[in-house]
Amino acid sequence: MNKDLIKGILILVGVLLALAIFAVVATDDGFQKLSCMVRAILHGVSLTNIHSVCGL
């Protein structure tokens, strides 16, 4: 595999992990927010619009 591809995948995983940790720690109902974020990502909502869709 290409080194740039591996770096890109690691960056994407890091961003998703940071969003998940933020959703659980920084909100009152973190697990509901986390499930909302996962569903939004799976349905194609852009990362910049997730906060308005899930009410973060």
**Per residue in 2-56, pLDDT tens?**
888 999 999 999 998 888 787 777 767 777 877 888 888 898 888 888 888 887 6
Cα–Cα distance measured from residue 2 to residue 47, given in angstroms and rounded to the nearest whole number = 25
CB 9 within 8 A of CB 17: no
What pLDDT was estimated at residue 33?
Answer: 78
Domain total in the chain? 1
- For residue 15, give every residue at least 6 positions away whose Cβ sits within 8 Å of its Cβ, in sequence order, or none: 47
CB 40 within 8 A of CB 50: yes
37-49 confidence digits (pLDDT tens) = 888 889 888 888 8
CA atoms within 13 A on the CB side of 31: 0
Where in the sequence is the domain holding 33, given as residue range(s)? 3-54
Cα–Cα distance measured from residue 34 to residue 17, given in angstroms and rounded to the nearest whole number = 11
